Amino acid sequence: GAVVSQHPSRVICKSGTSVKIECRSLDFQATTMFWYRQFPKQSLMLMATSNEGSKATYEQGVEKDKFLINHASLTLSTLTVTSAHPEDSSFYICSATYRDTFSNQPQHFGDGTRLSIL
Amino acid sequence: QKEVEQNSGPLSVPEGAIASLNCTYSDRGSQSFFWYRQYSGKSPELIMSIYSNGDKEDGRFTAQLNKASQYVSLLIRDSQPSDSATYLCAVRGGSNYKLTFGKGTLLTVNP
């Protein structure tokens, strides 16, 4: 159980292109989804927290106009990197969780999207 | 500022040995603790969760939590080369579901 699907797994595109990444919870309703970025040999950096039906909460230093997040349903969140540039090249990973009585549920991660901007 | 500290390693153990991974955290209000494994180039995979003081065993893995010392550890018995990965300690406090991750410990199991 608790499977999170992320698509696409890899994107290579030209500078200035906007790229959309999808994150789906396949067998549970994800009340909260998270978007992370990871540079080589570094730890995960949380970009934003997304609750279904409400605006995403961005971490300090993350440009909300650059990284558009939509969480329109309990099973789908999207991250759009607008007008991507080479410095946006990174490994983007989503995770999902759901609320339970004890607030103990872990985050379950998608397989990640490797974004390369030429 | 909530912090989670891990020894970055690399930690190198021979095949069949016990690997011991440690983690300390700064927020005394933390309630949930997780260990994730991340292979190079892949996303993190949940391997253990622990919520109360003491030990929790799952197969070859044992998580240990000591809230008084703000310390959580992961033991891997009978280590296998396939266990070679970066192990991330993650801590959550409160109800916002955000995790604070350590920087990870790179484990290498030598055949």
Chain A, chain B: beta-carbon pairs less than 8 Å apart:
54
Of A103, A104, A108, the CB nearest to B46: A108
Residue B43 Cα, gap to closest chain A Cα (Å): 5
Q: Are B4 and B24 in contact (CB under 8 A)?
A: yes
Q: Are B62 and B74 in contact (CB under 8 A)?
A: yes
> Which residues from A are below 8 Å from B41, CB to CB?
91
Rounded distance, CA A54 to CA A72, Å?
A: 8
Which tens digit of pLDDT belongs to each residue from A9-63? 999 999 999 999 999 999 888 889 999 999 988 889 999 999 888 889 999 999 9
Q: Which residue of B2, B30, B31, B43 is the best one to mutate when testing the A interface, meaning the one whose CB has the most A CBs within 10 A?
A: B43
Give contacts of A 28-87 with B, CB under 8 A.
32, 34, 42-44, 46, 49
Give contacts of A 8-27 with B, CB under 8 A.
none
pLDDT at B59 over 80: yes
| Average pLDDT over chain B, rounded to an integer | 93
From residue B49, alpha-carbon distances to A6, A98, B109 in Å are: 23, 15, 23
Q: Are B14 and B76 in contact (CB under 8 A)?
A: no
Of B32, B44, B45, the CB nearest to A104: B32
| Average pLDDT over chain A, rounded to an integer | 92
Give contacts of B 52-81 with A, CB under 8 A.
none
Q: Residue A101's pLDDT is what? A: 62
pLDDT at B95 over 80: no
Q: Residue A31's pLDDT is what? A: 86
Q: Do B98 and A46 touch (CB under 8 A)?
A: yes
pLDDT at B96 over 70: no
Residue B48 or B2, more confident = B48
Q: Is B83 helix (H, G, I), strand (E, B) or coil?
A: helix
Q: Is A33 exposed, middle or buried (0-12, 13-18, 19+ CB in 10 A)?
A: buried
Q: Residue A54's pLDDT is what? A: 84
pLDDT at B2 over 90: no
Query: Which residue type occupies B18?
Result: I
Structure tokens at A53: 């039906």
Which tens digit of pLDDT belongs to each residue from B4-54? 999 888 999 999 999 999 999 999 989 899 999 999 999 999 999 999 999
